[in-house]
């Protein structure tokens, strides 16, 4: 049974949410495929389902901590996935909003909390967020145009200079951070990374290492 607080108030959207909450991943994928076949408009059902699952998690945290910053997170998820607001968030938002509008609180930060910790260096944080992606893209580009280029210190130094990062070890760490994010599945033998889980078999090997192992076993017999 779905907690009433997770649903929007009676009215439009409630039935829609009840349906999303009743799906599992398999159902969400099936509905997504049907929606794509029909050239569906708006946000796809799979993503709306993922959003709804995130709402469940945020509500669990909110029940424990009552942290009003979670309301902002919910507003983001609902906006991104065209989902109606769960009741707990609707109530929490109105309460916080009124505090500011009725002159009982000075700023949004006073009701929702600071979005960034005090003393956060925005420039550094922004670089940490943006540069890994740029480093990865630039290295992919270089390797496409110059296929013989090795991924080594010289390359990191070159790219680090180009992108104004400077230190080659920092450039290197950005590259591997992004690689891990984009290709999270790693073969335990050759250590190559892959974007999809099905590229690694149940023994943790990629297809090429699997073939090699099979050939090796055959020769050994």
List residues near Zn ion by CB under 5 A: 187, 189-190, 206, 209
Quote the least distance from Cβ 200 to Zn ion, whole Å.
Answer: 8
Q: Given the complex with Zn ion, which of 74 and 187 has the nearer CB atom?
A: 187
Ramachandran category for residue 191: left, alpha or beta (phi over 0 → left; psi -120 to 50 → alpha): left
Q: Given the complex with Zn ion, which of 103 and 197 has the nearer CB atom?
A: 197
Q: Is 71 exposed, middle or buried (0-12, 13-18, 19+ CB in 10 A)?
A: buried
Q: Given the complex with Zn ion, which of 96 and 187 has the nearer CB atom?
A: 187
Quote the least distance from Cβ 212 to Zn ion, whole Å.
Answer: 8
Q: Given the complex with Zn ion, which of 77 and 209 has the nearer CB atom?
A: 209
**Token pair listed for 6:** 């997770």
**Token pair listed for 34:** 């049907």
CB-based burial, 132-169: b 16+ in 10 Å, e otherwise: bebbbebbeebeeeeeeeeeeeebbbbbbeebebeebe
Quote the least distance from Cβ 213 to Zn ion, whole Å.
Answer: 9
């Amino acid at each position: 049974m779905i907690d009433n607080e997770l649903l929007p108030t009676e009215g439009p959207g409630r039935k829609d949410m009840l349906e999303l909450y009743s799906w599992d991943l398999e159902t969400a994928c099936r509905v997504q495929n049907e929606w794509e076949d029909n050239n569906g408009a708006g946000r796809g059902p799979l993503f709306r389902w993922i959003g709804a699952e995130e709402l469940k998690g945020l509500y669990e945290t909110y029940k424990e901590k009552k942290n009003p910053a979670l309301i902002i997170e919910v507003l983001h998820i609902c906006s991104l996935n065209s989902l109606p607001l769960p009741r707990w968030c609707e109530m929490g938002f109105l309460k916080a909003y009124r505090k500011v509008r009725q002159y009982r609180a000075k700023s949004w930060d006073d009701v929702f909390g600071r979005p960034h910790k005090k003393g956060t260096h925005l420039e550094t944080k922004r670089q940490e967020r943006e540069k890994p992606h740029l480093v990865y893209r630039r290295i992919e580009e270089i390797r496409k145009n110059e296929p013989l280029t090795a991924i080594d210190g010289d390359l990191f130094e070159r790219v680090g200079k180009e992108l104004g990062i400077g230190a080659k070890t920092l450039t290197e760490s950005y590259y591997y951070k992004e690689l891990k994010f984009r290709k999270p599945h790693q073969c335990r033998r050759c250590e190559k990374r892959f974007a999809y889980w099905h590229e690694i078999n149940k023994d943790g090997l990629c297809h090429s290492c699997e073939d090699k192992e099979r050939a090796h076993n055959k020769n050994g017999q």
